């Protein structure tokens, strides 16, 4: 049974607020301080980003042995080299030479048989082992066996490559993704990943502000009044109240309403005749796994899935998209957006994917503009708190999970 918006009150199927399902989170204001505090930022680096599984790519980016990608992670003061070995396995290493710590691989992706450091020619194989040292006899008792690239733990889930900086993570990737991971297990990620559109931008904003913007649909009626006038809002549901919200220990999910009476624009109607669009598609409850569109609503558009700390995997029929949100400084963040579509089989499909992609991208430009504006006044001292309503529960949960890891407000520390 779907959630119903009645007047001013948001209700779940049994008539309560979503917050009522998670009373331990409370309903009070949430502090702004974590978004502007340098001290908090340093603690996030140590206590979040070194302690969790982080998505750094997908297997299609490195399909063959010798293929590699590099993910610079300034939040962890490192750069990660991800490489498919001769045995087909995906491994990850700190991109740091054992000699004098030069960055070994300077490009973002490629394919090779060995990695040679540009500084003194130290050479590593695809398994990260040190295979050659020029002028080796000038070293003292050099034991090449122990001087390979320093490995980081790597694993894959549904084609997504994750790394963990702890050599012995307390949870496997599967355990970390938990119930949300299981919910998404049968979603056709690989089929939909044949086509990939990728954008990057650096924003003058705290990384959590970007997350917040995409963890609620309250903004849609205002921020997207031009681009999305009626696809996810209606007279019955003017504020895009969620169909479903689920909070997990670290992660969370929101099932987004879609207006079945949406009126397509002329180009949208044309594009839809040739392929699925991000907010308009043919879907059947048989094709998508039970965990997607969990209320099996006919008024559904997509599911928003947030994998802590910084990875969004938002899914619908025929396409999905991801955000990776990388902190660089307390007020600077690299935001990567990827939109995935199946292999276009025809020009018509190619055109429809392009329309869907442009629509999505332009709507994101509406979201992004509020972010730097907010950050510019966030440290004014004018306000100390965010006020969060029932539909902003995901933001409240995120505050809680950050605090679980960072412990900024714990007894005796503040």
Partner 1 sequence: MPERQLPESFADLEPLVAWALETERERTRKRLSSSMDEIQAFYNAIFPRMETVLNYLNQFPLQAMPVDAQRLLYLTLSLAEVSMAVELFKQPSVPDGYDLTRFVPVHK
**Residues making contact with partner 1 (CB under 8 A):** 196-202, 226-227, 229, 265-268, 270-271, 274, 337, 344-348, 350-351, 354-355, 357-359, 361-362, 364-369, 372
CB of 239 to partner 1, least distance (A): 20
CB of 200 to partner 1, least distance (A): 5
Judged by CB, which is closer to partner 1: 203, or 393? Answer: 203
CB of 32 to partner 1, least distance (A): 22
Judged by CB, which is closer to partner 1: 210, or 242? Answer: 210
The closest alpha carbon to 308, from 58, 35, 52, 40, belongs to 52
Judged by CB, which is closer to partner 1: 258, or 275? Answer: 275
User: Whose structure tokens read 């082992």?
Assistant: 129
> DSSP letter at 48?
I
Strands 114-116 and 109-111: unpaired
CB of 374 to partner 1, least distance (A): 13
CB of 191 to partner 1, least distance (A): 17
Q: Is residue 103 within 8 Å of 71, Cβ to Cβ?
A: no
What's the N-to-C CA distance of the chain in angstroms? 45
CB of 353 to partner 1, least distance (A): 9
The closest alpha carbon to 185, from 206, 152, 159, belongs to 159
The string over 31-63, giving b where at least 16 C-beta atoms fall within 10 Å of a residue's C-beta and e elsewhere, is bbbbbbbeebbebbeebbbbebbbbbbbbebbe
Give how far Cα 111 sits from Cα of 44, 86, 96, 118, 281, Å.
34, 12, 18, 16, 37
CB of 187 to partner 1, least distance (A): 23
Judged by CB, which is closer to partner 1: 128, or 342? Answer: 342
Give how far Cα 177 sits from Cα of 57, 188, 192, 239, 402, Å.
16, 17, 21, 30, 16
Backbone dihedral angles phi then psi of residue 90, each to the nearest 5 degrees = -95, 125
Judged by CB, which is closer to partner 1: 194, or 329? Answer: 194
Cβ neighbours of residue 295 closer than 8 Å, sequence gap 6 or more = 1, 2, 3, 13, 243, 244, 255
Judged by CB, which is closer to partner 1: 12, or 259? Answer: 259
Judged by CB, which is closer to partner 1: 251, or 357? Answer: 357
Judged by CB, which is closer to partner 1: 112, or 194? Answer: 194
CB of 177 to partner 1, least distance (A): 26
The string over 203-228, giving b where at least 16 C-beta atoms fall within 10 Å of a residue's C-beta and e elsewhere, is bebbbbbbbbbbbbbbbbbebbeebb
């Amino acid at each position: 049974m779907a959630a119903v918006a009645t007047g001013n009150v948001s209700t779940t199927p049994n008539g309560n607020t979503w917050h009522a399902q998670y009373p331990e989170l409370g309903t009070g204001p949430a502090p702004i301080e974590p978004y502007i505090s340098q001290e908090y930022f340093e603690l996030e680096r140590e206590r979040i980003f070194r302690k969790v599984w982080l998505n750094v790519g997908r297997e299609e980016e490195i399909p063959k042995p010798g293929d590699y990608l590099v993910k610079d992670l300034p939040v962890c003061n490192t750069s990660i080299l991800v490489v498919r070995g001769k045995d087909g396995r995906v491994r990850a290493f700190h991109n740091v030479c054992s000699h004098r710590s030069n960055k070994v691989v300077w490009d973002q992706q490629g394919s090779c048989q060995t990695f040679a450091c540009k500084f003194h020619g130290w050479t590593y194989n695809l398994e990260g082992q040190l295979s050659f040292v020029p002028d080796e006899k000038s070293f003292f008792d050099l034991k090449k066996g122990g001087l390979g690239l320093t490995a980081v733990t790597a694993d894959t889930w549904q084609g997504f490559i994750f790394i963990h900086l702890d050599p012995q993570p307390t949870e496997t990737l599967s355990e970390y993704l938990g119930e949300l991971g299981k919910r998404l297990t049968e979603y056709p990620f690989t089929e939909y990943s044949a086509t990939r559109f990728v954008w990057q931008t650096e924003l003058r904003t705290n990384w959590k502000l970007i997350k917040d913007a995409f963890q609620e649909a309250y903004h849609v009626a205002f921020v997207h009044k031009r681009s999305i006038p009626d696809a996810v809002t209606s007279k019955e549901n003017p504020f895009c109240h969620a169909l479903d919200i689920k909070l997990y220990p670290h992660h969370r999910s929101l099932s987004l309403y879609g207006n079945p009476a949406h009126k397509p624009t002329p180009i949208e109607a044309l594009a839809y005749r040739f392929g699925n669009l991000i907010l308009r598609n043919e879907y059947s409850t048989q094709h998508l796994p039970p965990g997607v569109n969990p209320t099996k609503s006919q008024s559904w558009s997509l599911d928003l899935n947030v994998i802590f700390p910084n990875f969004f995997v938002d899914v619908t029929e025929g396409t999905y998209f991801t955000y990776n949100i990388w902190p660089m400084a307390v007020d600077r963040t690299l935001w990567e957006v990827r939109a995935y579509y199946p292999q276009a089989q025809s020009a018509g499909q190619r055109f429809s994917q392009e329309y869907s992609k442009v629509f999505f991208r332009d709507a994101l430009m509406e979201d992004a503009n509020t972010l730097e504006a907010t950050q510019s006044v966030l440290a004014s001292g004018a306000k100390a708190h965010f006020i969060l309503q029932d539909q902003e529960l995901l933001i409240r949960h995120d505050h809680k999970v950050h605090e679980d890891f960072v412990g900024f407000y714990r007894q005796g520390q503040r």
